[in-house]
Homo-oligomer: A and B are copies of this chain.
Amino acid sequence: MSLSDLFDGDPFVPAQQARIEPIQQRSTARLSGLLDAAAIVVDEVGFDRITTAMVAERAGASIGTVYRYYPDRVAVLQALRERTVLRFRNRFAEQLKTSAPKHWSEAVDVAITAFVDLYRSEPGFRIMHFSDRQGVPVAEDPDTGYFARRVAGMMVEAFGLHGGDELSFRLEVAVEMGDSILSRAFRSDPQGDERFIEECRAVTHDYLAGYYGPSVR
C-alpha cells in the first residue's frame, strides 16, 4: 500500500473493480472473503507468486467464482488495494474525530500513526505498494492530487490556514516523502524500524512547518 494511492480517484467511493455488481446478500460476503484470502496469500507467497487458484481455495470458493467478480488476476490485487486505502481513510477519519487535534501537526501525526498501525495489523499491507507505480490505466483523470486538495480543505477549515494550489502541492510532496520513508521502515522489519518512523514524523513536520513558517512549529 502506498500513501500516493490517496491521490487517485474519489475518496470513500471504491472504484468499480468487480466485473458485475453483486446483488444478493451472500455475494458481498463472498467478495470480501475473496479479498481477505488474497491479502493472506499475498503475505504468504509474495506478490507475483500469487495464483487465482490459491485465492479461490483460501476463500473456500471455486476458480469460477473469482472470475465472476474480477476480470483477471491483477484486478483482484487492485481491488484489495482499493479496499485497504478505504480502510486507511476510515481509520484516519475516525481517529481524527476521537483525538480532535487542535493543530495541523497533530493531524499529521495521527495520519502517520494510523498508517503504521495498518502496516502492523493489516494482512498484505506491507507487500501491496509494489503495484502502485505503474500508472493505473483507469480513467485518465488529470485530477491528481484530489485527496491532497481535500486535505488542504480540511486543514483550512480546521486550523484556519491559508490553502490553495501551493498547499495542495506541498501536501502531496509531504505524503510522497512520508510514504517512502515508512516503506523503508518496514522493508526489513515487520514491526517497523522506529528510527525511520521517527524520522518520517520529523521530516514531514519540518517540511510543512517550513511552508507555514517556524512560528507554527
- Residues on A lying within 8 angstroms of B by beta carbon are 4, 46-48, 74, 127, 129-131, 133-135, 142, 144, 169, 172-173, 176-177, 179-181, 183-184, 187-188, 195-196, 199, 203, 206-207, 210
Contact = CB atoms under 8 A, between A and B. Distances in A.
Given A144-B188, A184-B4, A203 B173 contact: yes
Given A47-B134, A48-B48, A173 B187 contact: no
A135 B190 CA distance: 12
Given A74-B48, A134-B127, A187-B135, A196 B180 contact: no
Given A48-B48, A48-B74, A173-B196, A133 B203 contact: no
Contacts of A129: 133
14 contacts: A130-B130, A130-B134, A133-B183, A133-B187, A135-B187, A135-B188, A169-B195, A172-B184, A173-B181, A173-B184, A176-B181, A176-B183, A177-B180, A177-B203
